[in-house]
Amino acid sequence: MPDLQEDLQALADRKAAESAGDFDSVLTAARSRKRRLTAGLTVLGAAVVVGAVAVVPTLRPAHNAPVADSPVPTNLVAPPQVSEQPNPAPVVKAGPLTLTSAKALVAGGQVVASFPDKQVRNVTFNLASAAKPDVPLYTLVAKVPGDASTPYSMKVIPGESGIAIPQYTSAGPYTLALPKGLAAGSYQLCTLSGAKLCGLVTVK
């Protein structure tokens, strides 16, 4: 149908010839639209910030006071409960053992132990590393008046028991001799009889 195409094109050409375009107004409209878009985004951003600031207080936790006669469960929070569990094995609390010249001792040096509770005890003591107080290293026998063989120390060998000790008791003070081969470090010295008393000895 060539007539139809020619007529339609002629009609379009006639309309085109009558049209009056203005490129500058196109540019102006495009630029002002861009400015409006930028301003709109700025306002939108500010609104988002304001909204966020307004929302934050509403996110605070509600108070937990229960409402009387409330038909719905309130925000009551149960307080934490503390249950007391008895200690099955009472631990013997180590009391202080007063030691003189307990610092800067050398191996083989002597230290004087006295009991604050003034209780009568045997002449035997335990020496263990301060890092492992439950593992006795030596049994120390304090100086017994009239016994020139005292004081001395005996290395504790696991599995062996029944050592001979002087039958002497006193409320102290006792003079003890540290083993000669003792390495430098901190040691715990404890009584072996009566209420347990301990003190720290430092060997350099």
Give the residues lining the site for other proteins (CB under 8 A). 1, 3-5, 7-9, 11-23, 25-27, 29-31, 33-34
Rounded to the nearest angstrom, the gap between the alpha carbon of residue 156 and the centroid of all alpha carbons in its chain is: 37
- Closer to other proteins by CB, 13 or 117: give it: 13
- Find the shortest distance in angstroms from Cβ 42 to other proteins: 18
- Find the shortest distance in angstroms from Cβ 7 to other proteins: 5
- Find the shortest distance in angstroms from Cβ 71 to other proteins: 48
- Find the shortest distance in angstroms from Cβ 32 to other proteins: 10
- Closer to other proteins by CB, 35 or 63: give it: 35
Q: In what order do the strands lie in the sheet with 152-155?
A: 95-96, 197-203, 185-191, 124-129, 136-141, 152-155
- Closer to other proteins by CB, 16 or 92: give it: 16
Start-to-end Cα distance in the chain: 119
Distance CA 138, CA 151 (A): 13
| Pick from 188, 190, 177, 173: nearest CA to 119 | 173
- Closer to other proteins by CB, 29 or 76: give it: 29
Structure tokens at 118: 């003034």
Task: Using the structure block, give the residue that is written with the tokens 């094109």.
Answer: 9
